[in-house]
Each structure stands twice: as C-alpha cells, then as structure tokens.
C-alpha cells in the first residue's frame, strides 16, 4: 500500500512520516520524522498515539500514513 495523507480510522499500527510538532517549533526549523502510530477506536472517537505519546490531528504538518505489514505470529509448517 502507498503512503496517504488521510488519517487512519481503523484500529491498527501505521507508519507516520511528517513534522510531528509542525515545520517550525520555538522558532527553529524541524526535520520530518518517521514513527510508529497506534490507532484505536474509543467511546468518543479515535485515539492516536505516536511513539507512545497521544497525538492530535491539529499538531503535525504534512503527515503521511502507511499501514504496518506485520508477519504471521508463527511460521508456516
């Protein structure tokens, strides 16, 4: 699957690539980051966590997402 700018809505793990705290933070230019994002549906919406920290849709800039492809939990015999 290709990268998309659409925020994920299904439970799972996704790659995140973009500016986590915006392109400029405290007057200093930032570099884009690659991170592991977890998506979970909760009672009042969707919970996004990026590398263990809650993330809100209005924080990052130029965010791109891609589902993480996990291997089978055991080898085929």
Per-residue pLDDT, averaged over 27-35, amounts to 88
Q: How many helices (H) and strands (E) does the chain have?
A: 0, 7
pLDDT confidence tier of residue 73, bands split at 50, 70 and 90: confident
Residues 70, 5: contact at Cβ < 8 Å?
Answer: no
* 60 has pLDDT over 90: yes
Mean pLDDT of 17-27: 84
pLDDT score, position 22? 83
User: What mean pLDDT do residues 49-67 have?
Assistant: 94
Average pLDDT along the chain: 91
CA 44 to the chain's CA centroid: 19
The verdict on pTM exceeding 0.85 is no
The answer to whether 63 touches 8, Cβ cutoff 8 Å, is no
13, 38 in Cβ contact below 8 A? yes
């Amino acid at each position: 699957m290709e990268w998309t700018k659409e925020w994920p809505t299904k439970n799972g793990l996704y790659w995140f690539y973009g500016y986590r705290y915006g392109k400029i933070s405290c007057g200093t230019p930032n570099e884009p980051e690659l991170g592991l994002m977890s998506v979970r549906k909760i009672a009042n919406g969707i919970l996004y966590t990026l590398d263990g920290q809650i993330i809100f849709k209005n924080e990052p800039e130029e965010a791109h997402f891609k589902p993480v492809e996990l291997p089978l939990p055991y080898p085929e015999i």
